[in-house]
Structure 1
Amino acid sequence: MKITFLTVGKTEDAYLKEGIDKYVKRLKYYTKLELVDLPELKNTKALTEQQQKAKEAEMILKKISPLDHVILLDEKGMELTSKQFAAFIDKKSISSTSSLVFVVGGPYGFDPSVYDRANDKLSLSRMTFSHQMIRLFFTEQLYRAFTIIKGEPYHHE
Protein backbone atom coordinates (compact mmCIF):
# COMPACT_ATOMS: atom_id res chain seq x y z
CA MET A 1 0.00 0.00 0.00
CA LYS A 2 1.29 3.42 -0.95
CA ILE A 3 0.82 6.33 1.42
CA THR A 4 0.97 9.94 0.26
CA PHE A 5 1.26 12.83 2.68
CA LEU A 6 -0.01 15.88 0.78
CA THR A 7 0.55 19.29 2.35
CA VAL A 8 0.05 22.90 1.36
CA GLY A 9 3.27 24.83 1.90
CA LYS A 10 6.74 23.77 2.96
CA THR A 11 8.25 22.97 6.30
CA GLU A 12 10.65 25.81 6.97
CA ASP A 13 11.97 25.27 10.50
CA ALA A 14 15.13 23.15 10.50
CA TYR A 15 14.28 21.30 13.70
CA LEU A 16 10.93 20.20 12.27
CA LYS A 17 12.51 19.14 8.97
CA GLU A 18 15.04 17.08 10.90
CA GLY A 19 12.31 15.33 12.89
CA ILE A 20 10.19 14.66 9.82
CA ASP A 21 13.21 13.28 7.94
CA LYS A 22 13.97 10.96 10.88
CA TYR A 23 10.53 9.32 10.73
CA VAL A 24 10.35 9.30 6.92
CA LYS A 25 13.62 7.34 6.84
CA ARG A 26 12.30 4.88 9.42
CA LEU A 27 9.04 4.43 7.50
CA LYS A 28 10.91 3.17 4.42
CA TYR A 29 11.11 -0.23 6.12
CA TYR A 30 7.32 -0.49 6.39
CA THR A 31 5.63 1.27 3.50
CA LYS A 32 6.09 3.36 0.40
CA LEU A 33 5.63 6.95 1.60
CA GLU A 34 5.57 9.94 -0.71
CA LEU A 35 5.69 13.49 0.64
CA VAL A 36 4.07 16.04 -1.65
CA ASP A 37 4.41 19.72 -0.73
CA LEU A 38 2.16 21.96 -2.76
CA PRO A 39 3.30 25.58 -3.08
CA GLU A 40 1.74 28.18 -0.84
CA LEU A 41 -0.40 30.69 -2.67
CA LYS A 42 1.24 33.99 -3.50
CA ASN A 43 -0.35 37.45 -3.41
CA THR A 44 -3.16 36.34 -1.13
CA LYS A 45 -3.91 39.77 0.35
CA ALA A 46 -6.38 40.45 -2.46
CA LEU A 47 -8.13 37.10 -1.90
CA THR A 48 -10.82 36.22 0.62
CA GLU A 49 -10.40 33.16 2.82
CA GLN A 50 -12.87 31.28 0.63
CA GLN A 51 -11.01 32.23 -2.55
CA GLN A 52 -7.75 31.00 -1.00
CA LYS A 53 -9.36 27.70 0.00
CA ALA A 54 -10.81 27.30 -3.51
CA LYS A 55 -7.39 27.85 -5.15
CA GLU A 56 -5.75 25.41 -2.72
CA ALA A 57 -8.53 22.91 -3.46
CA GLU A 58 -7.70 23.01 -7.16
CA MET A 59 -4.08 22.10 -6.40
CA ILE A 60 -5.05 19.39 -3.91
CA LEU A 61 -7.66 17.74 -6.13
CA LYS A 62 -5.23 17.61 -9.08
CA LYS A 63 -2.93 15.41 -6.98
CA ILE A 64 -5.65 12.92 -6.00
CA SER A 65 -6.72 10.04 -8.23
CA PRO A 66 -10.22 8.51 -8.23
CA LEU A 67 -8.89 5.32 -6.60
CA ASP A 68 -7.16 7.08 -3.69
CA HIS A 69 -8.63 6.76 -0.22
CA VAL A 70 -8.40 10.37 1.01
CA ILE A 71 -8.10 11.26 4.70
CA LEU A 72 -8.12 14.92 5.66
CA LEU A 73 -6.22 15.95 8.77
CA ASP A 74 -8.97 18.09 10.20
CA GLU A 75 -9.88 19.30 13.69
CA LYS A 76 -13.40 17.89 13.24
CA GLY A 77 -12.14 14.45 12.26
CA MET A 78 -12.24 11.19 14.14
CA GLU A 79 -10.07 11.08 17.22
CA LEU A 80 -8.11 7.86 17.55
CA THR A 81 -5.56 6.51 19.98
CA SER A 82 -2.26 5.39 18.49
CA LYS A 83 -3.46 1.76 18.65
CA GLN A 84 -6.73 2.65 16.95
CA PHE A 85 -4.83 4.54 14.24
CA ALA A 86 -2.62 1.48 13.72
CA ALA A 87 -5.76 -0.68 13.41
CA PHE A 88 -7.19 1.81 10.89
CA ILE A 89 -4.01 1.60 8.75
CA ASP A 90 -3.90 -2.18 9.07
CA LYS A 91 -7.57 -2.51 8.08
CA LYS A 92 -7.00 -0.37 4.97
CA SER A 93 -4.00 -2.51 4.06
CA ILE A 94 -5.92 -5.76 4.48
CA SER A 95 -8.94 -4.46 2.57
CA SER A 96 -6.82 -4.01 -0.55
CA THR A 97 -6.74 -0.24 -0.37
CA SER A 98 -3.87 0.48 -2.73
CA SER A 99 -3.35 4.14 -1.92
CA LEU A 100 -3.97 6.28 1.16
CA VAL A 101 -3.63 10.04 0.81
CA PHE A 102 -3.44 12.10 4.00
CA VAL A 103 -3.97 15.82 3.38
CA VAL A 104 -3.04 18.91 5.39
CA GLY A 105 -4.72 22.03 4.06
CA GLY A 106 -3.70 25.65 4.17
CA PRO A 107 -4.13 28.10 7.04
CA TYR A 108 -7.91 28.39 6.61
CA GLY A 109 -8.67 24.70 6.24
CA PHE A 110 -10.35 23.00 3.33
CA ASP A 111 -12.73 24.10 0.62
CA PRO A 112 -16.08 22.22 0.51
CA SER A 113 -14.96 20.47 -2.70
CA VAL A 114 -12.09 18.83 -0.80
CA TYR A 115 -14.45 17.74 1.98
CA ASP A 116 -16.74 16.26 -0.68
CA ARG A 117 -13.87 14.21 -2.13
CA ALA A 118 -12.57 12.97 1.22
CA ASN A 119 -13.31 9.47 2.45
CA ASP A 120 -12.40 10.20 6.09
CA LYS A 121 -11.29 12.97 8.40
CA LEU A 122 -8.73 12.49 11.16
CA SER A 123 -7.96 14.80 14.07
CA LEU A 124 -4.56 14.52 15.71
CA SER A 125 -5.74 16.58 18.68
CA ARG A 126 -8.47 18.91 19.84
CA MET A 127 -5.76 21.54 20.14
CA THR A 128 -4.69 23.69 17.22
CA PHE A 129 -1.12 23.29 15.96
CA SER A 130 0.79 24.98 13.18
CA HIS A 131 0.68 23.22 9.84
CA GLN A 132 4.42 22.66 10.09
CA MET A 133 4.15 20.93 13.48
CA ILE A 134 1.31 18.71 12.28
CA ARG A 135 3.69 17.29 9.67
CA LEU A 136 6.09 16.13 12.37
CA PHE A 137 3.32 14.79 14.61
CA PHE A 138 1.72 12.90 11.73
CA THR A 139 4.92 11.27 10.48
CA GLU A 140 5.74 10.15 14.02
CA GLN A 141 2.25 8.71 14.50
CA LEU A 142 2.43 6.93 11.15
CA TYR A 143 5.75 5.38 12.18
CA ARG A 144 4.28 4.44 15.55
CA ALA A 145 1.29 2.82 13.81
CA PHE A 146 3.53 0.58 11.73
CA THR A 147 5.58 -0.46 14.75
CA ILE A 148 2.33 -1.35 16.56
CA ILE A 149 1.14 -3.37 13.54
CA LYS A 150 4.47 -5.25 13.46
CA GLY A 151 4.49 -5.79 17.23
CA GLU A 152 7.73 -3.89 17.68
CA PRO A 153 8.66 -2.29 21.03
CA TYR A 154 8.56 1.40 20.00
CA HIS A 155 5.06 1.95 21.46
CA HIS A 156 4.59 1.55 25.23
CA GLU A 157 1.32 1.28 27.09
Structure 2
Amino acid sequence: MKTILLVVGRTVEQHYITAINDYIERTKRYISFDMEVIPELKNTKSLTEEQQKEKEGELICKFLQSGDVVVLLDENGKEFRSVEFASWMEKKMANVNKRLIFIIGGPYGFSPKVYQTAHEKISMSKMTFSHQMIRLIFTEQLYRAMNILHGGPYHHE
Protein backbone atom coordinates (compact mmCIF):
# COMPACT_ATOMS: atom_id res chain seq x y z
CA MET A 1 0.00 0.00 0.00
CA LYS A 2 1.21 3.48 -0.84
CA THR A 3 0.19 6.29 1.51
CA ILE A 4 -0.03 9.83 0.18
CA LEU A 5 -0.80 13.15 1.81
CA LEU A 6 -2.32 15.32 -0.93
CA VAL A 7 -2.32 19.04 -0.22
CA VAL A 8 -3.50 22.13 -2.08
CA GLY A 9 -0.75 24.71 -2.40
CA ARG A 10 2.86 24.49 -1.37
CA THR A 11 4.08 24.83 2.19
CA VAL A 12 5.66 28.28 2.51
CA GLU A 13 7.12 28.52 6.03
CA GLN A 14 10.64 27.03 6.12
CA HIS A 15 10.31 25.73 9.67
CA TYR A 16 7.18 23.77 8.67
CA ILE A 17 8.90 22.44 5.53
CA THR A 18 11.87 21.21 7.55
CA ALA A 19 9.71 19.50 10.18
CA ILE A 20 7.27 17.98 7.66
CA ASN A 21 10.13 16.56 5.59
CA ASP A 22 11.70 15.12 8.74
CA TYR A 23 8.49 13.27 9.67
CA ILE A 24 7.98 12.07 6.08
CA GLU A 25 11.48 10.57 6.06
CA ARG A 26 10.96 8.98 9.49
CA THR A 27 7.63 7.51 8.38
CA LYS A 28 9.22 6.01 5.26
CA ARG A 29 11.11 3.63 7.56
CA TYR A 30 7.77 1.91 8.13
CA ILE A 31 5.55 2.51 5.09
CA SER A 32 5.61 3.96 1.60
CA PHE A 33 4.65 7.60 2.24
CA ASP A 34 4.89 10.85 0.28
CA MET A 35 3.31 14.27 0.20
CA GLU A 36 2.01 15.47 -3.16
CA VAL A 37 1.18 19.11 -3.84
CA ILE A 38 -1.57 20.38 -6.11
CA PRO A 39 -0.55 23.89 -7.21
CA GLU A 40 -2.60 26.66 -5.68
CA LEU A 41 -4.99 28.46 -7.96
CA LYS A 42 -3.95 31.73 -9.59
CA ASN A 43 -6.10 34.88 -9.71
CA THR A 44 -8.45 33.72 -6.96
CA LYS A 45 -9.61 37.28 -6.16
CA SER A 46 -12.08 37.03 -9.05
CA LEU A 47 -13.50 33.73 -7.73
CA THR A 48 -16.10 33.15 -5.07
CA GLU A 49 -15.29 30.69 -2.28
CA GLU A 50 -17.53 28.10 -3.97
CA GLN A 51 -15.83 28.58 -7.35
CA GLN A 52 -12.43 28.20 -5.71
CA LYS A 53 -13.52 24.98 -3.97
CA GLU A 54 -14.88 23.65 -7.28
CA LYS A 55 -11.66 24.37 -9.18
CA GLU A 56 -9.51 22.86 -6.42
CA GLY A 57 -11.89 19.89 -6.33
CA GLU A 58 -11.37 19.28 -10.05
CA LEU A 59 -7.59 19.21 -9.52
CA ILE A 60 -7.95 16.87 -6.53
CA CYS A 61 -10.19 14.48 -8.47
CA LYS A 62 -7.74 14.44 -11.42
CA PHE A 63 -5.05 13.18 -9.05
CA LEU A 64 -7.15 10.28 -7.77
CA GLN A 65 -7.07 6.82 -9.35
CA SER A 66 -9.50 3.95 -9.41
CA GLY A 67 -9.05 1.85 -6.28
CA ASP A 68 -7.76 4.71 -4.11
CA VAL A 69 -9.10 4.92 -0.58
CA VAL A 70 -9.72 8.61 0.03
CA VAL A 71 -9.69 10.13 3.52
CA LEU A 72 -10.38 13.82 3.96
CA LEU A 73 -8.82 15.73 6.82
CA ASP A 74 -11.96 17.64 7.74
CA GLU A 75 -13.17 19.42 10.86
CA ASN A 76 -16.34 17.30 10.84
CA GLY A 77 -14.50 14.00 10.64
CA LYS A 78 -13.91 11.30 13.22
CA GLU A 79 -11.49 12.16 15.99
CA PHE A 80 -8.91 9.66 17.26
CA ARG A 81 -6.49 9.39 20.12
CA SER A 82 -3.03 8.55 18.77
CA VAL A 83 -3.29 4.86 19.73
CA GLU A 84 -6.72 4.66 18.07
CA PHE A 85 -5.33 6.22 14.89
CA ALA A 86 -2.50 3.66 14.97
CA SER A 87 -5.05 0.85 15.18
CA TRP A 88 -7.06 2.43 12.33
CA MET A 89 -3.88 2.61 10.21
CA GLU A 90 -3.08 -1.01 10.97
CA LYS A 91 -6.48 -2.03 9.56
CA LYS A 92 -5.94 0.13 6.48
CA MET A 93 -2.51 -1.40 5.88
CA ALA A 94 -4.12 -4.85 5.94
CA ASN A 95 -7.06 -3.96 3.70
CA VAL A 96 -6.06 -1.23 1.23
CA ASN A 97 -4.60 -2.72 -1.93
CA LYS A 98 -3.47 0.36 -3.83
CA ARG A 99 -3.21 3.86 -2.40
CA LEU A 100 -4.45 5.42 0.82
CA ILE A 101 -4.86 9.12 0.09
CA PHE A 102 -5.22 11.68 2.88
CA ILE A 103 -6.30 15.09 1.58
CA ILE A 104 -5.92 18.55 3.08
CA GLY A 105 -8.02 20.97 1.05
CA GLY A 106 -7.60 24.63 0.33
CA PRO A 107 -8.54 27.52 2.62
CA TYR A 108 -12.30 27.07 2.09
CA GLY A 109 -12.47 23.30 2.41
CA PHE A 110 -13.71 20.78 -0.13
CA SER A 111 -16.18 20.86 -3.00
CA PRO A 112 -19.25 18.59 -2.90
CA LYS A 113 -17.61 16.40 -5.57
CA VAL A 114 -14.59 15.75 -3.32
CA TYR A 115 -16.88 14.92 -0.40
CA GLN A 116 -18.72 12.43 -2.64
CA THR A 117 -15.41 10.81 -3.61
CA ALA A 118 -14.25 10.40 -0.02
CA HIS A 119 -14.54 7.13 1.85
CA GLU A 120 -13.93 8.66 5.28
CA LYS A 121 -13.23 11.92 7.10
CA ILE A 122 -10.82 12.42 9.97
CA SER A 123 -10.57 15.48 12.21
CA MET A 124 -7.18 16.28 13.69
CA SER A 125 -8.72 18.43 16.44
CA LYS A 126 -11.75 20.48 17.39
CA MET A 127 -9.41 23.47 17.22
CA THR A 128 -8.72 25.30 13.99
CA PHE A 129 -5.20 25.20 12.56
CA SER A 130 -3.73 26.75 9.44
CA HIS A 131 -3.52 24.52 6.39
CA GLN A 132 0.26 24.82 6.66
CA MET A 133 0.32 23.70 10.29
CA ILE A 134 -2.10 20.79 9.85
CA ARG A 135 0.38 19.23 7.41
CA LEU A 136 2.95 19.10 10.19
CA ILE A 137 0.44 17.82 12.75
CA PHE A 138 -0.75 15.07 10.40
CA THR A 139 2.74 13.91 9.38
CA GLU A 140 3.78 13.80 13.05
CA GLN A 141 0.69 11.76 13.97
CA LEU A 142 1.22 9.34 11.08
CA TYR A 143 4.81 8.82 12.21
CA ARG A 144 3.63 8.38 15.79
CA ALA A 145 1.07 5.77 14.64
CA MET A 146 3.76 3.80 12.81
CA ASN A 147 6.04 4.03 15.82
CA ILE A 148 3.26 2.73 18.09
CA LEU A 149 2.57 -0.20 15.76
CA HIS A 150 6.25 -1.14 15.71
CA GLY A 151 6.72 -0.84 19.48
CA GLY A 152 9.02 2.13 19.17
CA PRO A 153 10.00 4.44 22.02
CA TYR A 154 8.49 7.61 20.52
CA HIS A 155 5.05 7.22 22.13
CA HIS A 156 4.39 6.73 25.84
CA GLU A 157 1.09 5.93 27.52
Q: TM-score, normalised by structure 2?
A: 0.98
Deviation per CA, 1:22-57, whole angstroms, max 9, x where unpaired?
Answer: 111111111111211111111111111100000000
Aligned partner of 2:82 in structure 1 is 82
When residues 41 and 146 of structure 1 are mapped into structure 2, their CA distance, relative to the original with a 3 A threshold, is same
Aligned partner of 2:27 in structure 1 is 27
The CA distance in 2 between the partners of 1:24 and 1:127, in whole Å, is 24
Contact persistence 2:69–2:96 (CA under 8 A): no
The number of residue pairs the alignment matches comes to: 157
The CA distance in 2 between the partners of 1:5 and 1:21, in whole Å, is 12
Deviation per CA, 1:58-102, whole angstroms, max 9, x where unpaired?
Answer: 000011112000000000000000011001110011124431000
Aligned partner of 1:143 in structure 2 is 143
Higher mean displacement: 86-95 or 67-76: 86-95
Give how far 1:153 is off.
1.3
Higher mean displacement: 51-60 or 32-41: 32-41
Aligned partner of 1:129 in structure 2 is 129
Aligned partner of 2:61 in structure 1 is 61
Contact persistence 2:70–2:101 (CA under 8 A): yes
Please give the root-mean-square deviation of Cα atoms over the aligned residues, in Å: 0.8
Give the residue type in structure 2 aligned to 1:107.
P
Aligned partner of 1:111 in structure 2 is 111
Q: TM-score, normalised by structure 1?
A: 0.98
The CA distance in 2 between the partners of 1:96 and 1:121, in whole Å, is 16
**Structure 1 unaligned blocks of 5 or more:** none
The CA distance in 2 between the partners of 1:82 and 1:113, in whole Å, is 29
Give the residue type in structure 2 aligned to 1:67.
G
Contact persistence 2:82–2:144 (CA under 8 A): yes
SS, match of residue 107 in structure 1: coil
Percent identity over the alignment?
52
